[in-house]
Structure 1
Amino acid sequence: MAHFFINRPIFAWVIAIVIMLGGGLALQTLPIEQYPDIAPPQVSISATYTGASAETVDSSVSQVIEQQLKGIDNLLYMSSTSDAAGSSRTTLTFLPGTNVDLAQMQVQNKLQQAMSRLPPAVQSRGVTVTKGGNDYMIVYHFTSSDPDVSAVDVGDFLTSNLVDVIGRVDGVGEVQVFGTNYAMRIWMDPAKLEKYALMPSDIASAIQAQNTQVSAGKLGDLPALPDQQLNATITARSKLQTVEQFEN
């Protein structure tokens, strides 16, 4: 093949010129981006089934979600993980070029149809749908110079003040705080549970019933008396906050 072009230099020059002209024309139509989309778009679904084993989470949460999401437009494949902490995470990967906003909307609409088939504990905690996969782009470490501030306090501060703010930044798919979250843990006495014929779910229901925020009303609200001069809102501390309140 090389001898063919060596013996015909004019023909070789013509082909080279045609290739150069074709490249110049194609260069004007090729898109140029500083950060082109290389990886296929992904949408993630997170759910938590507190107290359940990994097998239970997989059968009652992950598989239910997977069955409902089959047939979504431009879906390439999906994968799920379930762990012993009760967490379920399903990642859907779509064909390159798919509008990730529309894909997220479709996933949310299909997921609503499966909510009634999920365990009540999962429904009460909610199911989160976010854009992006399981890969972490940036990891920050926060500490406090105050010795009286524990890691739990730092995590509670981040969850209350920074997570939502960072999550609203353009390009951020999900913000996750690692570490121990602020919570009130209750240990039950099996002997007393058996004595009073109670189940752990009965204790949880009693705590939920007594640990609710209620509206206490107003003083001097309409319709008011003609000589009414005071109007005030009553604030009731109905939610349990301290260990002593939970013990009683």
Structure 2
Amino acid sequence: MARFFINRPIVAMVISILLVIIGVVAMVQLPVALYPNIAPPEILLTARYPGADAVTLEQSVATPIEQQMSGVDKMLYMYSLNQAAGSQMQLRVDFDVTTDPSVDQVLTNLRYTQAASQLPPDVVNQGVTVIKSVTSPLGLFALYSPKGTYDSLFLANYAYVNINDPMTRVPGIGQVLIFGASQYAIRLWINPDTLAKLDITVNEIASALQAQNTVNPAGQLGGDPVPHGQEFTYTVLAQGRLASVADFENVVVRARPDGALVRVKDVARVELGAQNYIRRGRLNGQPAAIVAVYQLPGS
């Protein structure tokens, strides 16, 4: 057989070329399922505790959740990161490579619900997210104002409103993160001297805002049962959540014995700003919002 190919080199070359072509075609058509997953599924749990430092986050948030998370089915290991900047705790739980990420997410969420009663109320009110984690973004792009007309706060909120949700609904996209600035928020810059003179605490202001910034369903007029001849039903609309700086300024904090009202604007300066100021986005020296797109694990 060897002498046959030695005496006929053209035949040997043709067979070699055919083998290479067949191999390339087979490689392209190879099912993806034949490539094993080598990275273990990871679930990311994020909690926020406004005003807390890293030690407080570790003791009051991370520890109770980690205690409940220990022993979850087919978990390999977990680790947490507590950040004073932003008062945020991130817990990453890694599972066996053979597990289903969707099942791992459900198991992680169930363990979190067991720890929820041990967490500070502010953490529960802020909300805790449990998502499938990916290590690096699939792609990044930036929104910027060429003439500097808009700042990074406006651009980031534009991305939150017009880009975040539509891109998250795209098949294969697991998460969209926006860097550069946070979302809009009403900020109260409190005057401590005025609070001391009026003997008012910050908790009183927070309680007044929570009590007066609510949705108030007022019912309807002319609903069943009604007298004969009633043909119309009218929905009663009451003032709902506060929507402007002026609305927040006029929130009543306390009524004094002489009948005078102490409002928020009497003890604080109210403005429309950002939730936090720990991030700034820039592109070529211009304010920008950076949008990071992450692939859905398993897609």
TM above 0.5, yes or no, is: yes
Q: Match for residue 68 of structure 2?
A: 68
Match in the other structure for 2:212:
210
Residue of structure 2 aligned with 1:224, choices 215, 223, 226: 226
Counterpart of 1:33 in structure 2 is 32
TM-score, normalised to structure 1, is: 0.79
Pairwise CA RMSD? 2.4
Pick the structure with more strand per residue.
2
Contact 1:48/1:87 (8 A) holds in 2: yes
Output the amino acid matched with 2:136.
Answer: D
In 2 relative to 1, CA 142–232 (structure 1 residues): closer, same or farther, beyond 3 Å? farther
Aligned match of 1:141: 142
In the alignment, the residues of structure 2 paired with residue 176 and residue 109 of structure 1 have an alpha-carbon distance, to the nearest angstrom, of 25
User: What is residue 155 of structure 1 aligned with on the other side?
Assistant: 156
Task: Note the C-alpha offset of 1:202.
Answer: 1.8
Instruction: Give the aligned partner of residue 58 of structure 1.
Output: 58
CA deviation profile, 1:178-224 (whole Å, cap 9, x unmatched)? 21311000011112222333322221111111111111222322222
Read off the aligned partner of 1:72 and give its amino acid letter: V
Give the structure 1 partner of residue 257 of structure 2: none
Distance 1:73 1:185, change over 3 A: same
Q: Deviations over 1:28-67 (max 9, x none)?
A: xxx8427752311110001111111121112111122111
Contact 1:91 1:133 in 2 (8 A): no
Q: Equivalent pairs: percent with the same residue?
A: 36
Mapping for residues 1-248 of structure 1, pairs under 5 Å: 32-33=31-32, 36-84=36-84, 85-143=86-144, 149-178=150-179, 179-248=181-250
1:74 Cα deviation after fit: 1.5
Per the alignment, residue 17 of structure 2 pairs with none
Distance 1:195 1:233, change over 3 A: same
Q: Report the Cα offset of residue 96 of structure 1.
A: 1.2
In structure 1, the gaps of 5 or more residues are 1-30
- Structure 2: tracts of 5 or more residues without a match: 1-29, 251-299
Q: Quickly say closer, same or farther: Cα 1:39–1:144, change in 2 above 3 A.
A: same
Aligned length, in residue pairs = 219
Structure 1 residues 222, 148: closer, same or farther in 2, change over 3 A? farther
Change (3 A) 1:106 1:225: same
Structure (1/2) with the larger helix percentage? 1
